[in-house]
Amino acid sequence: MMSARGGAARRVTDHPADDLVPTWSHDGQWIYFASTRTGAYQIWKVSPHGGEPVQVTQQGGTYAKESLDGQYLYYARTTGTALPSLWRVPVFGGEEVLILRQIASYPNFAVARDGIYFEAPTPGTPLAHNPTFTPFIKPAVTIDFLSFVTGRVKSVIATTNYSGDGLDISPDGRTMLFGQIDSFTEDLMLIENFR
């Protein structure tokens, strides 16, 4: 962690497991993250001031975002190459409830006051999670909205380029931010006499 004004970074976790994809609680008192410290990815939380992390999920979790009222944690759960599912658990632990059977990508959902925005799976999506960055694995997609009131899903926007990682909504619900891959290049290098 480091100040928004810059300066030296301060380590928050020091466990030898993979600690990945951190997100902040809305009150700034917790950092949620995925960790393999129990042998499988689970969602944990830790104070930004230090201390022992607390395990939040028991059945698996990859990426988490807190609800605007700070009562629930919404998180993606990945299993092998299946598409991720979206779940909810109270922030202090409790029953883990399935919200959506499939979303297209584990980091591509956003919690709004009245529902969940998410990248919808498209027919023929090849993989849910690829450990290496592979551009153009997902073609143009739709971003859908699940209403908390009606329980119905409606399409919000269709992207025009390949989908990237990341989706969020402003606190007032008026602006959406999403990842899109517009270009990608690779260079093939020849190295002679490298021994």
Interatomic CA distance for residues 68 and 75, integer angstroms: 14
- What pLDDT score was predicted for residue 132? 43
CATH number for the domain harbouring residue 46: 2.120.10.30
Instruction: Count up the domains in the chain and report the number.
Output: 1
Q: Give the domain extent around 32.
A: 19-128+135-181
Q: Is residue 177 part of a domain?
A: yes
pLDDT < 50 regions, the chain = 127-133
2 lies in some domain: no
Q: Report yes or no on 74 lying in a domain.
A: yes
Domain-embedded: residue 104 = yes
Task: Report CA torsion sign: 149, 57, 62, 3.
Answer: positive
Any domain includes 116: yes
Q: What integer pLDDT is reported at residue 121 of this predicted model?
A: 80
